A = this chain, B = another copy of it.
Amino acid sequence: MITIYDLAKQTGFSAPTISKALNGNGKLSEETRQTILEAAKKAGYTANMAAKSLSTKHSRLIGVILEDVAMKRGFEHPLFGGLLNKFRNEIEMAGYDLLFLSKHFNEGMSYIDHCRYRDVEGILVVNPIDDDEEMKSLGDCGIPCVSTNEFIPGVCTVVSDNETAGKMAAQVFFEAGHSKIGFLGAPFRENSPAAIERFKGFKAEYESYGLEFDERYLEICNAWWNQAGYEGMKKLYERCPDITAVFVVCDALAFGAMKYLLEIGKSIPDDISIIGFDDDTTVLRAAPTLSTFRQDRDRIAQLASEVLLQEIAGMPAPQVVRVPVQYINRSSVRRFNRVSAMAF
């Protein structure tokens, strides 16, 4: 391993001068800078980040909270995997590396201790454990922080515009001639906007048509996973067999719901129309292909990295950044003809 001192010897300059040349700061004659850079290149010099980090207090590390227990699926999450790809690219362009925060060291080191241990400069919260007490203190731990789902006090959240999406879902169904529309939700957790906000928008739009939303048409599944969608759909359908459409709060649940409906001999969309949420990478595999709202993973990741980098640079961050969602019409929504549509 070759160091700054080796370069110093080779070029005849001092270590601090080498450092300045390499980092492009301080005043140096163009000539010596060139000499040094060439020597560094020739020698195959690579800086040692541990030393840099120790003396500058800048580790160039971004901590990521991404859990894989229970229904959290770590890298396998259908939304967060793509988001992380993009976030990683953005952050690397800025010279940072990702470091996954963990509580698995020494009988349960906290996330914040892990950050101190590695001198992490910023934190991306993707997927914390439900109701993790530590989340409450993240906002004032002194490390810049951004979240891409959960609301955390004092932390900027970059998240899809769920409420508008909920409204759009209701609109799509209304315009296609539906009026008996079910809502298949997931647990309404205070800090997790996804399910609550989508329902809020959906209900508001529904009622803006002068109708009252019957709470019997709302079924909250007990998780975000296929089987929960299957069971939720069963309950909803058995309670309200008159529904002609269902807005499902995520694609995974929608697949479960479709499975149930197909099993009992219903046709989608002829008997029952479905709209999902996420635009899961595998949506195209199932038949019928699911109409859904695409969450813009790339945009969320990009904005999250921008906000975080700005915070690291000392600038303030907004409390929430909303990212528009796109409705993708495939083949799970039936359009009634004009007459039927006017009939409701």
Contacts and interface: CB of A to CB of B under 8 A. Distances in A.
A116 interface: yes
A269 interface: no
B226 A284 contact: yes
Contacts of A48: 54, 116-117, 119
A116 B46 contact: yes
- Report how many copies the assembly holds: 2
Contacts of A51: 50, 54
Interface string A80-123: 11101100110011010111101011000100010011110000
Contacts of A84: 74-75
B286 A119 contact: no
Measured as residues with beta carbon below 8 angstroms from the partner, the interface class of chain A is 35 or more
B116 A1 contact: yes
A35 interface: no
A25 interface: no
Nearest to A112: B46
A105 B93 CA distance: 6
A199 interface: no
B102 A100 contact: no
A281 interface: yes
A109 B51 CA distance: 19
Interface of A: 1, 46-51, 53-54, 59, 68, 73-76, 80-82, 84-85, 88-89, 92-93, 95, 97-100, 102, 104-105, 109, 113, 116-119, 226, 255, 259, 262, 280-282, 284-287
6 contacts: A49-B118, A75-B84, A97-B100, A255-B285, A285-B285, A285-B286
